[in-house]
Amino acid sequence: METPLLEVQDLKIYYKTFGAPVRAVDGVSFTVRKKETLGLAGESACGKSTLAMGLLKLIEPPAYIAGGKVLFRGNDLFSMSDEELRKIRWRHVAFSPQSSMNALNPVMKIYEQFSDAMQDHRFKNQGKNPQGYVSTLLKNVALAPRISKQYACELSGGMRQRVIISMGMALRPELIIADEPTSSLDVVVQRGVLEMLTELKEEHATSILLVSHDIATLFEVIDRLAIIYAGKIVEIQGVFDIYDEPLHPYTQGLIVSVPTFERKEIPRSIPGLPPDLRDPPIGCRFHTRCPKVMEICKHKEPEFKEIEPEKFVACHIYL
Amino acid sequence: MLKSLSSTRDLLSSILRGLKVIRQERKIFVGLCIIAGIYLVSQLVSLISPYHPMTMGNVAPNLPPSWKHPLGTDPMGRDILTQLFFGTVLSMQIGFMAGVIAFASSLTLAMIGGYYGGYGDSIINVFTEVFLTIPSLAVLILVAAVVGKVEVPIMSVILAIFSWAWACKVFRSQMLSLKERGFVKLAKLSGESGIGIIAKEIIPSMLPFLGIWFAFIVSSAMMAEAGLELIGLGPQHRVSLGIILNWCMHFNAFTRGLVNWWLPPCIILITLFVSLFIISMGLDEIGNPRLKGRR
Amino acid sequence: MYTVKYFVRRIAMYVLTLFVALAINFILPRLIPGNPIEAKMVQLFRQGVNLGGKEFVEKYSQLFNLDQPMHMQFLLYINNLLHGNLGLSITYFPSKVEEMIMTAIPWTIGLLAVAVIISYSVGLILGALMGWTQRKEKPSKWANVFFSLFMFLSQTPYYILGIMLVYLLTYLLPLFPYGGGVDLALIPGNIEYIISILKHATLPALSIVLVQLGGWALEARGLMVSVLGEDYLFLAKAKGLRERNIFRRYALKNMILPSITDLAIALGTITSGSIITEIVFSYPGIGSLMYNAVRELDYPLIQGVTLVVIFGVTTAALLIDLLYPLLDPRVGEK
Amino acid sequence: MVAILEAKNMTKVFPLGGLMHKKYVTAVENFSFQIQEDDRKVITLAGESGSGKTTIVNVLLGFIKPTYGEVLFQGKNIWKRKRSEWRSYRKEVQAIFQDPYETLNPFHKINHVLMQPIKNFKLAKSKSEAVKLASEALYSVGLDANDVLDKYPHQLSGGQRQRVMLARVFLIQPKIMLADEPVSMIDVSLRADILKIVQKLQKENNMSCLYITHDLSNAYCISDEIIILYLGSVMEQGDFESIVKNPEHPYVKTLIQSISIPNPRARWKGKVRLQDIEIARLETIVGCKFCNRCLEAMPICGQKRPPLIELEKDRKVACHLYV
């Protein structure tokens, strides 16, 4: 079997507090394959953003990596030196942050923010005319070349998001991690941006890890879907399988809770509240809200495993 | 503003809550203790001191420190330690009074102007900026020179006039951002009046911030006060820390090495300023919990 | 983005500030009960100097336009100002106030400019570095030591620091001269003369620099810490830029710009401080001139000096504010 | 019959700065709508960011004054009312907001936000009655008074805070409730609960509700009618279901098609056209505001603003295709 592009093994990221640490990501394993779009869905404060940032060690104190490994093409990112990791970032794995509104440097022109990354990574593919290269990149996301001479404050939110996506593509990375790339955008713009991202991905054979709370939008573009709840991945399946036959009760509840034009009624919600990650429940973390809870769920943590080919789940029902 | 007993109780409970926070916050507690300590000791000692700070010739002049005169005596025959305690009390009183006056007026102007807007606000805004750019000391010197012999309350007012502007500008901009906040809208929807919103919604959410600026105003008023007195402008016939320094300068105490005379007032002043600054740092941490533990 | 509105507004503010300063300057001395000339005469008489009788007072009152009605006095005052005429000193009659100020002003500007430039630039860099270390999980001990030191300095009034420097470096360790701006025995123009000027200016400058340095370092540290939390800094890290470039192009640049406007606001305070410092060191600048004028109740001189100081500070602040939008692309966008 | 709340040709223009060449932005243009006394409907006001929906809320709640046109409450312009009459307007037109955390003052306990309207609108005669009222209101939204009254906002979850806001509306019993994005800050799995309470509140207390949102699929579950805004103008309005099934305006068509259905087999078809207009240049558009993104644009679309015309009963559209 060929090595996956990115392999995460039992990753743990905690936040230091005065009391017990917040276990925001607590033993997560998954892989991102070549040329695929993997969706990562979860609700607020489930640890999905922390996970996305942690993959490239972009987390800042009080967050810290409490265990696990991240292998990029077989190389352990956490055992690299800072300089080696720096060279991986953006050049091989690009990261588009959640709040793109203020992610561009307000006092540098857009072009300079493209070129500084090219310089620091000694990127030469742009040929003799870096200006023209940047213009092409901008054109790929339907922005005019004159944008490169402007400052971020002159652009709208959707334009800034597109600039960041085209910056992410500039060094031809193998993987793009996009944390809620479109959640602050309008529906139509959201669609446009995601369509562009997919198109660029096809063109350059890039992989994408798309993190979002919005399952309906994820369904539009992804190949496989991972569901994260309270710091743990509970299920990973191909997108059609997970829609047709969601395995984990949380996934089932989540899909049903999304309203749709197909039915004019208020959907069902999942009762209860997500747990406090400082003191998560013993056993399965979802057992306090699970409609199919069994006795074993309350004291034994279900193992995350592949019950059938391509079907990963962590639930006692299937063990 | 307090319409009923229940709101008085609310206020009391919030003050108690504030005191609890202060106890927990080490910086504020330490700062307040130092300031209160300096004031109480000075006040107490000045009450029981056997010497008079102003009357000349009661004791032999130019004595070095001894058991009878721990800091010695000055060239005019006065006990320096007694001067120091009297001076500390007066300096702190003037600074605090100036601070209260400047703080109250800047807060009132900023709140009313910022909340209601309109022409009144524009005028307040313009005057704030004018007072901000004018070097206050130049005008203070002019004022003090014109007024000539000033009494303590007038000195406080003069200092206050030149300490309110910065705070007013900052309070106003806070007000402008706070009044767009959701809870102000909600209070309006709940039928609350403008004054009610300022008193019950906006000022409470500014409390740590107001504390910082109060400390800042008192500190800068005292700094200006001592500066003015140092160059001979200020209340006459009373002794304050700045006036002691003025005498020191007059008698060339610095170049004659009379450390016992000029150093103690300097140390007290710096201690006061640093304590006030530490208090405001503590308040800042309450206001932005993010900062805590950063340092 | 240079918006016309900002430009016009700022200049209008400047004119208004000057006008208020003029008004204060004009009205305040006239609030004293009685005639300032008479007051001065009485003072001189007590000191044993008799200049003459009633005619003398009248003659002088005429000279200072004190016999005119108030509004005429104001118009004449403005008219004189526009002609660069600040009146005659009473104490050093018949010296012209503007000439006295002109001899004092180079001393002050030299002292102030050097002190502000050194303290602002050094303080900013030190503060920025101090803030930059806060990124790390364990900030270095040095950052804390420096923080306490700067906090201490920033809370020390100029004059106290000045006094301490005088004691330390002229009494205990007599490295520098005390008082005056230059050794008057020397002939102007040669190297020795310049060295003497520098020696005399060192202590006053040092006391301003040290206090200001503390203030700017704390300010810069605070600005840097807030920039550290910005999203663009996170993206810069995600972009895998070199540390040095992130510091320079992302952190420092975003932090310095707001501090420039702070400098414009702080000019007034700095000038106030330098006035007292000059007095403490009997440095022959504007501050000392003002101090002497106040002691002698020389109203034309007091007025003139106040006006020049206010004019200088507000103009400098205006220039900074007008230059700022050229540097920061964010101004004018909203 | 007099409408209880009516907006007549309401326009709000904001200045954008610039002294020599003053720029303006028209946030809302010629907006008219009304709610009848016995309507008791839920009307959705939908639009993207910059569509002017927040401005409409602020104008209807009397926070800002419209530049042109008027807001009538029971037939009377609210800006020509006496000061004392403002309170009665406040009593009848209430709102809940997007971010309940922002809307609750962190300084005060939950108690405060419920007692304030009781005191100002004189809903209770005594302190004990006031507490009883508050407890009942909290019970009706599924909260226990003993649990929440003494807590600070940060001690509650997002869902609980929004419930408190709904309890406040229950307490005041207004005739009209404006719900400004009430679920967009709440987790997907918990949204339905809040929507159910909104629906219950509206039905059981005979209120009319104006539901303001950018998220059409949530609004669809509880609304009867919809008004769709684009850059400050109404594009299409009428019965929600018929607009979803059969949108007429090209913008509304794109919008409805772009809304994701949680089904990977029903993905987007075709591509949307993205083009950005700077806000400042918006004022120069004389024709239809959607013209430059419209796939069906005609020459007239760039020259003349289309009027809002009635297609059939309960369906209006502003597009030259139907003139």
Whether A270 and D190 have beta carbons less than 8 Å apart is answered as yes
- Pick the most confident of B117-121, B233-237, D238-242: D238-242
> How far apart are the C-alpha atoms of B205 and B287, rounded to whole Å?
9
- In A, which residues are within 8 Å of C134 by CB distance? none
> How far apart are the C-alpha atoms of C57 and C38, rounded to whole Å?
7
pLDDT for position B23: 66
CA atoms within 13 A on the CB side of B195: 4
Burial environment of residue A275 by CB neighbours within 10 A (0 to 12, 13 to 18, 19 or more): middle
Strands (E), D146-224: 176-180, 208-213
Side chain identity, residue B127: F
- Range of weakest confidence among A310-319, C131-140, D261-270: C131-140
Here the tokens at position A289 are 């809200």
Residues C172-196 have pLDDT tens digits of: 888 888 877 777 777 777 888 888 8
Say if residue A62 is preceded by a cis peptide, omega within 30 of 0: yes
Here the tokens at position B231 are 């160059």
Whether B102 and B210 have beta carbons less than 8 Å apart is answered as no
Interface of C with B in 267-296 (CB under 8 A): 267-269, 271-273, 275-276, 279-280, 290-291, 294-295
Size of chain D in residues: 323
Task: State the count of interchain CB pairs (< 8 A) between A and D.
Answer: 127
CB contact set of C229 (below 8 Å; sequence gap of 6+):
B290
Strands (E), chain A: 6-15, 22-32, 37-41, 63-72, 75-76, 93-96, 175-179, 207-212, 224-229, 232-238, 305-308, 311-313
> How far apart are the C-alpha atoms of C106 and D126, rounded to whole Å?
75
Residue C37 — pLDDT band, cuts 50, 70, 90? Answer: low
For chain C, how far is it from start to end, CA to CA, in angstroms? Answer: 11
Handedness of CA C168, C172, C174, C177 (dihedral sign): positive
* D224 at B interface, C-beta within 8 A: no
Residue to substitute from D274, D277, D289, D295, interface A, most A β-carbons within 10 A: D274
Residue D277 has pLDDT above 60, yes or no: no
Taking chain A (319 residues) in consecutive chunks of 10 residues, what is each chunk's mean pLDDT?
A: 86 89 92 94 89 92 91 92 93 87 90 92 79 87 84 82 88 92 81 86 92 92 94 95 94 91 87 88 93 92 92 92
Q: Which of B137, B230, B269 sits opposite C272 (nearest CB)?
A: B137
- Between these two residues, A307 and B127, which has the higher pLDDT value? A307
- In D, which residues are within 8 Å of A243 by CB distance? 262-265
Taking residue B164's Cβ as centre, other Cβ atoms within 10 Å add up to 26
Say if residue C94 is preceded by a cis peptide, omega within 30 of 0: yes
Q: How close, in Å, is residue D91 to chain B by CA atoms? A: 8
SS3 string of C227-240? Answer: HHCCHHHHHHHHCC
| Phi/psi of residue D296, nearest 5 degrees | -110, 25
* C330 at A interface, C-beta within 8 A: yes
Question: What Cα–Cα distance (Å) separates residue A181 from each residue in A163, B56, B96, C187?
Answer: 12, 79, 53, 74
Side chain identity, residue C22: L
Q: How close, in Å, is residue A77 to chain C by CA atoms? A: 14
Domain residue ranges of chain A, discontinuous segments joined by +: 6-92+174-281+302-313, 100-172
CB contact set of C9 (below 8 Å; sequence gap of 6+):
D19
Closest Cα to residue A24, out of A38, A39, A9, A11? A11
Residues D25-52 have pLDDT tens digits of: 788 999 998 898 877 889 999 988 778 8
Query: What is the arithmetic mean of pLDDT over C259-269?
Result: 83
| Phi/psi of residue C277, nearest 5 degrees | -60, -45
Architecture of the CATH domain A6-92+174-281+302-313: 3-Layer(aba) Sandwich (3.40)
CB contact set of B36 (below 8 Å; sequence gap of 6+):
none
Residues D92-103 have pLDDT tens digits of: 999 999 888 889
Here the tokens at position C84 are 């660069």
Query: What is the arithmetic mean of pLDDT over C291-298?
Result: 80
Closest Cα to residue A59, out of A5, A120, A12, A105? A12
> How far apart are the C-alpha atoms of D194 and A269, rounded to whole Å?
10
> How far apart are the C-alpha atoms of B168 and B106, rounded to whole Å?
5
Query: What is the arithmetic mean of pLDDT over C131-158?
Result: 82
Q: How close, in Å, is residue C237 to chain B by CA atoms? A: 20
Please give the DSSP secondary-structure letter assigned to residue D306.
Answer: P
Q: Which domains does chain D have, with CATH numbers?
A: 3-322 (3.40.50.300)
> How far apart are the C-alpha atoms of B79 and B70, rounded to whole Å?
9
Whether A40 and A52 have beta carbons less than 8 Å apart is answered as yes
Q: In what order do the strands lie in the sheet with A207-212?
A: A93-96, A175-179, A207-212, A37-41, A224-229, A232-238, A311-313, A305-308
> How far apart are the C-alpha atoms of A202 and A182, rounded to whole Å?
19
Which residues pair with residue D7 across a beta bridge? D33, D71
Question: What Cα–Cα distance (Å) separates residue A154 from each residue in A101, A102, A107, A314, D27?
Answer: 12, 12, 11, 47, 19
Say whether pTM exceeds 0.90: no
Burial D134-149 (b: 16+ CB within 10 A, else e): bbebbebbebebeebb
> How far apart are the C-alpha atoms of D229 and D252, rounded to whole Å?
9
What ipTM does this complex have?
A: 0.84
Minimum CA–CA partner of C239 in chain A: A90
> How far apart are the C-alpha atoms of D114 and C124, rounded to whole Å?
49
Q: How close, in Å, is residue D121 to chain B by CA atoms? A: 7
> How far apart are the C-alpha atoms of B140 and B165, rounded to whole Å?
14
* D278 at C interface, C-beta within 8 A: no
Question: What Cα–Cα distance (Å) separates residue B295 from each residue in A230, B215, B292, C150, D146?
Answer: 31, 21, 7, 14, 40
Whether D189 and A253 have beta carbons less than 8 Å apart is answered as yes
Residues C315-333 have pLDDT tens digits of: 888 888 888 877 877 664 4
Percentage of chain D lying above the pLDDT 70 cut = 94
pLDDT for position B148: 67
pLDDT for position B159: 87
Which residues pair with residue B61 across a beta bridge? none
CA atoms within 13 A on the CB side of D83: 3
